[in-house]
Amino acid sequence: MITKRVLVTGSAGRVGRAAVRELAARGHHVVGFDLRPTPGIPAAQSVVGPLGEVEALRKAAAGVDCIIHLAATPDDARYPRGAAPDDGDNFLSELVPNNVIAPYQIMETCRVLNIPRVVLASTGQVIGGHLIEGTTPVTAAHPYKPRYLYAATKVFLEALGQVYAKEHGMQVLAVRLGWCPRDPGQVAEIAASELFQDVFFSPGDAGRFFAAAVEAANLPDYAVVHATSRHLHAPRYDLSDAGRLLGWQPRESWPTGASEFA
């Protein structure tokens, strides 16, 4: 295996830590970029700051073979929206700067520095309507049915990746991630729902997925794949594209790894 230099944004988050841990265990040189120090790598490889600091971002990305872009505001501040006056959202304050402008800076960094591959973390929320309707398993060919404003920013993310792949000759993989919980409350939500259990994404499976995305010898210019752990009740996402392109298959299922967040 050829070792790679990889920049992981959002590297101190729940999925980021899993990706960093697996990549480092396989011998890759990992640079983390987050608002907090990144566990599991030397301090010199942990860059602390916002993605809006473009000079720092490009310095951290210099010489890397791949960027895994995970950093984002992770959801809508409120869903469903309340009635006025209790109807505020975080679209202008958080979703636009973190989920629209920051991905643009990532793609511009890849263009300017000639970084050949970028993995963009999208979400199953972009096709959430299909999950609710039960038109599953959802494939990459299903039309968008976004849940709300956060999901709309991830539709933009996927389109942005497609544009840069087409116009600037880089390999862009957009991955619609399952649910890797952030806190005990989300663990409880997953425990209460068969659907949520079937879209659960364990830290171990997440780490192995991102390692496979870095290590795959060849990828198309642009592709969308789904990534979850193994379902318990019914297949909700079609995972076959991840298997075909990356040689990745989930090994775990709910609740493996959930205790990390309980």
Burial class (CB in 10 A: 0-12, 13-18, 19+), 8: buried
Amino acid at 122: S
CA 97 to chain centre: 17
Domain chopping of the chain, boundaries: 5-76+94-246
Architecture of domain 5-76+94-246: 3-Layer(aba) Sandwich (3.40)
- What tens-digit pLDDT sequence spans the chain (262 residues)? 799 999 999 999 999 999 999 999 999 999 999 999 999 999 999 999 999 999 999 999 999 999 999 999 999 999 999 999 989 999 999 999 999 999 999 999 999 999 999 999 999 999 999 999 999 999 999 999 999 999 999 999 999 999 999 999 999 999 999 999 999 999 999 999 999 999 999 999 999 999 999 999 999 999 999 999 999 999 999 999 999 999 999 999 999 999 886 5
Pair of tokens at residue 218: 């060849």
Of 254, 236, 97, 130, residue with least CA distance to 186: 254
**What is the predicted pLDDT for the residue at 260?**
80
pTM > 0.95: yes or no: yes
Residues pairing with 226 in the sheet: 176
As a residue count, the chain comes to 262
**What is the predicted pLDDT for the residue at 252?**
98
Query: DSSP E strands: which ranges in the chain?
Result: 5-9, 29-34, 46-48, 66-69, 117-123, 171-177, 222-227
**What is the predicted pLDDT for the residue at 262?**
56
Say how far apart CA 78 and CA 68 lie, in whole Å.
27
**What is the predicted pLDDT for the residue at 259?**
84
